[in-house]
Structure 1
Amino acid sequence: MSYIFMGILTVTLLITALVLKDKYEFTKTIGALSWIALSLYFIVEFIVIRASTASYNFLKQPMSDLGVTICGIDTYELAAYEICSPAHLAMNWTFTLTGIAVFTGAIFLHRFWPDNMKTKTATVLLVIFGISYSISGIFPADINFLVHTFASLPGMFVQIPALIIIGRAIKSTMPKLSKWTYFCLVLNLLSLLFIFLQPVFPELPGGLIQRVLYGSVWLWMIVTGIVLLNKSVQRK
């Protein structure tokens, strides 16, 4: 029942954000706070890891393992090791709410970017990034591995063109934020490269690399949210 509610909440808030995006000035503040709230993710993850009754390797294991709803070995494809995460519901809610925070911020903060087709495309890509992450919480790996996996794939790539577009769009109006965007983009690209190298170099810390892949985007969003919130306050 909780997972059905997660899905309903995700769809409802996506539609609400799209309806309200240009109607009220306060949505900019909500958007900025949504991105800033992403900083809470790793606090929750740390608590969930501590609650795990099976050994969990932060460096090696994927984040999805923390959302697996059953205990045992071979709980899903590719997991030939023991997993037991009693706080899996909290983790899956965190996955879902993280995605909601991402697409809410993307929609409500669009007005800070130059209004053209390229930045609209970037916003759509970031919305897809958020939806992709929410789905990983709505469909844990052990409940539906295919949906969990294939829905997560866009979240590995769509942020790249989005950050390039936004970095270019704000180069003259917000040069420091533009440089920050490119810095986070480089981190993201490097982590994606290392993910592709994992089959060749299995000793690479896959769990850490995955966290850098997503964390580099969240870090960009957190700092960007702070900067844009400050701009919004100054304009009042």
Structure 2
Amino acid sequence: MGACLTSGGNIVSGDKGDPVTKEVGCGTAHKLEVVGTGRFPDGGQVPGWGSDALRAAYVECGKAATAYLGADWHGGWVFVHIGRPATSDWISGARGYVCGLAEVDRTGPYEAARQRIGTVKGDLAPGGAGKLAQRCATLIGQAPDAQGFYDGATATPADCAAVHDAEYAGFVEHSAGVYPAYESQQVFVRTRCDALVASLLGLTPQALGKRRDVRGMFTYLDNEMEWQAGERTSLCYATVSQGHKVRASVKGLGSGPLQY
């Protein structure tokens, strides 16, 4: 653990490709940091997306990522990558996999890892550097509704003291099973997300419902390959209207006015 890896190719969230990497010092620009390793069971071929072996590996890599960061990795601007043996190496007997963490600058499927310098170890822990922690964000989406709110959008990091329109409130874990349709995701996540947003503001869900200037928004599971691998979380944000963005955190705001 703790090794950093670079690659000339793209390392992408939810992508089933396995780019060639080489180890470098973490003080050098890199795209992955190794947080754990494991071993696939024997089989006729490299485990593919949707296989029991890869789902088990994803669970273990997620645990390793959380332990390495100091808090659940879903709360950071990161994704988990599983490096698998090449087919030729598998035929020769290789069974090991590598759990890596990559930094991203937006949510959404198929986001490419950023080049970064320095370790991510302990970044999300209390007292950690916290540079990767999700806090305030700017949304990028299609046309908002008549009130100026998005229903699903890409989030990018923002300084809470700068103009922004979203703030991370937590995540919702979907139940295992068949990949859920858009409508099913809405039904499952909506009330759970609203509860997280209410908690962020220091309100009850009922009190949040009376506000017209703050609304919960969550990310949809648009990448079925990620679901097949075992990723089943929707990120939840407190959002404000595009016409009334804010310049401060809404944490603990209660029923007070937004700071435009």
Give the structure-2-normalised TM-score: 0.27
Structure with more relative contact order (C-alpha pairs < 8 Å, separation 6 or more):
1
The answer to which structure has the higher strand fraction is 2
Q: Which has the larger radius of gyration?
A: 2
More helix by share: 1
Q: TM-score, normalised by structure 1?
A: 0.29
